[in-house]
A and B are shown apart, each in its own frame.
Chain A
Amino acid sequence: MLGIWAIVALVLVAVGPWVLPTYMVNGLIRAFLYAAVALTVDLLWGYTGILTFGQSAFFGIGAYAVGLMFTHVGFGPGYATMAFIGAVVGAMLVAAIVGWLAFYHGASPLYGSVVTLVLPIVVSQILYSGGNFTGSSSGLSGFESFDISIETWFWIAGTFLVLLTALAWLFVHSDAGKVLVAIRENEQRCEYVGIDVSRVKILLMVVCAGVAAVAGYMFAGVQMVVAPEYAGFVFGTELLIWVALGGRGSLIGPVLGTLVLDVSTSYLSGNLPFVWKLIIGVAFVVVIVALPQGLMPLITGFVRRLMGRGGAARSEPAPMLAAVEEEPFAGLQGAGSQALALAGVRKNFGSLVVLDGIDFVAGRGELLSLVGPNGAGKTTLMRCIADGGERSGGSVRVNDHDIERLPPYACVGFGVGRKFQNANVFDSLSVAEALRIARSRLERPSLLRRADTLLLPEAALQVIRATGLDRDLQREVRHLSHGEKQALELAMVLALEPSVLLLDEPTAGLTKSERTLIGGILVDLARNHRLCILLVEHDLDFVREISSRVIVMHQGRIVLDGTVEAVVDSELVRTIYAGGMTPRSGAVA
């Protein structure tokens, strides 16, 4: 399918210069290059959710590499190559710095956008202040450039755009491409399945910067003029407008949107200079408010209806399920004897102490239940084990590795798997895709293909088979029931092959039979797979049935730690659950 479309597009590019008027050929060359940059904006914003104002800066860097080299140094094949390398490497370096600044662990999406907004302002101001070297506000022009006819430029730029789009298409439909969507949908869950989100974002930014710089390089080569505006913030927002109107997250939409809008602008802005820009502005606002997915879905929907293919059902076949050879301690240097060891763990928000001096050790094969009233600090304790940045003091060791201040994805690397209290999944991915995202830490996903088998550890398979999810692998997660989402998240966590499993009320909202089922699986994981399971649970009957040990927490401290019989029937637990354990009434009780 992709091959046919790409060939059609290449044929169109090939015949273009012969049938189109010269003015249009010129305009399209520019539009092809803008579209290439818009494509990178779509990858960053439409697919990954990074609202970027800064791709214009990389385009400008590519263009100025040409302008500066050909104006000040000289023109020739050697210089052209040097300028090319300078453009790409320079843009990528800048992108790496910007990415490091914008996507540090825990950065808000707004901060990322702030940085991408600062970038083009800084780059264009530097160009303005460059005096004769950068040509200041008038830029550089009249430099000698490639002796290539306008038709050939059309073919070069058109082929570049078609190949780039095809490559991007393969990428976003590959297993690795789904990681981008997963990050957009739920960055937190990505961190907790072991994906270093910051690194993925920075890498993507670097690659997109390189592509934008190549487009800028060609732009300067064909236009023989560069100006600070091409690196500026306003051009950066114009790219966003093209992508938004075409349809973010659809690749073809932004490309067509850019081609149509840029070419029609060059025709219409002569006749209706201000009205045209006003129309674009109005269309942009209307699309953002009323049609967030842009105009592309309207067109594809219309085409589908014409061709009689209805529905949004996914047409690809479901992947085959298979069990994988488990390697629980893969990548760890020695697992030590204790699965989990906490010493003096403390957490406070300002003067409010939520956890105070938590010490305990848990071994493999233990199924340890954490009980206590709301606000006792159970969930906070889970957080402190799964994210090194959470606790205020004390130490946490997982499989004999100190988690220090490391972010969640690194804790996953030590063997932690955390299931959240509310089903925390990826709404717009399919069940199979979500499971594959959870496997991506252990099996590097392909950048161009989607695998046709889905390898999962036995326990994860057991969960999805028992809950019937194996028949729904192609279903979008948003359409699952609450119980199915809970089961999917559990399966995703098990797919990580964790050795320390943190479960926060895994049975909340489940039916009695589902609860029994999950209980059975947990007991099996602890007994036969020797997992250390830490369970937060309010249902004391459930706790009694499956636990091997119970820890009672109250007001941020451990008040009891022992076997099921000793703890569940104790007077203390009853008082706490009856709400009488405050210092004053405690004496009465």
Chain B
Amino acid sequence: MATLLDIVTTAAILFAVGAGLLIVFGVMKIINFAHGGFLTVGGYSALAVTRLGWNPWFSLAFAFVIGSVCGMIIERLVVRPLYARPLDAILATWGLGIIIGQLITLAFGREVQFVQSPVSGAVELLGSSYSEYRLLLVGIAVILALVLGAVLNATRLGLVTRAVIMNENLARGLGINSGLVRFATFSLGAGLASLAGALITPLSSVDPNMGVPWLVNAFMLVMVSGVSLVSLGVACLVLGGAQVLVSSWGNPILGGLTIVVLAALVLRFRPQGFARD
């Protein structure tokens, strides 16, 4: 039972972490390696909220706003010139991740620090006790998925965004300002990453390099998901589940490798991954 809950909560966390990367990859066709940096930004936003003594719930909104603002600045300065060079965009955003990590180190120090959790304790669930916060994350991930799905499928912004995803040149020809869509997408992606960073910090701790391992897993999950939120959800459940199983029955280090290795193999034999053709 605990294993099942672990699988579901792990998938939820991975989904929250991967969503921002997926949105950026879907619309802009570039891989944002600063995603890890934005996660870190979110973690430290939560830390700032803790230090200021504010309500920990507030850290979520705070992280989202800070992350979006960082995303806006970075899109203008760095990402925009690299639209035509996707492999270079990976490198430049990785460099941005380094810059973010160093700025955070200068501001907050390099030591591991802890953040106050909005909820703590455990609940009794079907005869076993389980961390309340992890269960809460499942709810948050579901809400996140619903909101993103609704924005993409039921709003004008979403329609325009989907048009850019499918055929950017045509969309531009129809008078859609694809530059603006990219700008909005990147800042949304950065905001989501930062939000995810704030969400995961109560589970462990913050340090300036906390984003890197998450970045790698999120990257692999997005690679196997194509550009669909649904397949991201499936990929998180399947690969995240495999990770939980390998960690609990094998060893945790192998567990940490599960997602990257399985994702690489999935792509080798089925290049479209978990997406439907």
Q: Using a CB–CB distance below 8 Å, which chain A residues touch chain B?
A: 49, 51, 101, 104, 106-111, 113-115, 117-118, 121-122, 125, 128-129, 233-234, 237, 240-241, 244, 274-275, 277-278, 280-282, 284-285, 288-290, 292, 350
Contact = CB atoms under 8 A, between A and B. Distances in A.
Contact of B102 (A104, A118, A240, A278): A278
Contacts of A129: 251, 253-254
Given A104-B268, A114-B220, A122 B260 contact: yes
A114 B220 CA distance: 8
Q: Among B85, B102, B110, B212, which residue has the most Cβ atoms of chain A within 10 A?
A: B102
B106 A281 contact: no
A125 B252 CA distance: 10
B92 A117 contact: no
A114 B81 CA distance: 23
B271 interface: yes
Q: Among A106, A125, A128, which residue has the most Cβ atoms of chain B within 10 A?
A: A125
Nearest to B267: A111
Contacts of A244: 91
A117 B218 CA distance: 13
A27 to B, nearest CB: 22
A49 B85 CA distance: 12
Interface residues on B, range: 35 or more
A111 B220 CA distance: 10
A280 B98 contact: yes
Contact of A234 (B212, B251, B271): B212
B216 A278 contact: no
B87 A113 contact: yes
Contacts of A290: 81
A110 B30 CA distance: 10
Interface of B: 31, 78, 81-82, 85-88, 90-92, 94-96, 98-99, 102-103, 105-106, 110, 212, 216, 219-220, 223, 251, 253-254, 256-257, 260-261, 263-264, 267-268, 271, 277
A107 B98 CA distance: 29
The list of the 3 closest CB pairs from A to B, nearest first, reads A281-B98, A129-B253, A278-B102
Contacts of B220: 114, 118
A240 B260 contact: no
A281 B82 contact: no
A278 B103 contact: yes
A121 B260 contact: yes
Nearest to B252: A129
Contact of B88 (A110, A274, A288): A288
Contacts of B254: 125, 129
21 contacts: A101-B264, A101-B268, A110-B223, A111-B223, A117-B216, A121-B260, A125-B254, A129-B253, A234-B212, A241-B95, A244-B91, A274-B105, A277-B102, A278-B98, A278-B102, A278-B106, A281-B96, A282-B99, A284-B91, A284-B98, A290-B81
Contacts of A101: 264, 268
Nearest to B85: A292
A125 B253 contact: yes
Nearest to B212: A234
A114 B223 contact: yes
Given A101-B264, A274-B102, A274-B106, 15 more contacts: A51-B90, A106-B271, A109-B87, A118-B264, A121-B257, A122-B260, A125-B253, A125-B256, A125-B257, A234-B212, A275-B106, A278-B102, A288-B82, A289-B82, A350-B277
Nearest to A128: B253
B157 to A, nearest CB: 27
A501 to B, nearest CB: 32
A51 B98 contact: no
A115 B219 CA distance: 12
B264 A285 contact: no
Contact of B94 (A106, A237, A277): A237
Contacts of B81: 289-290
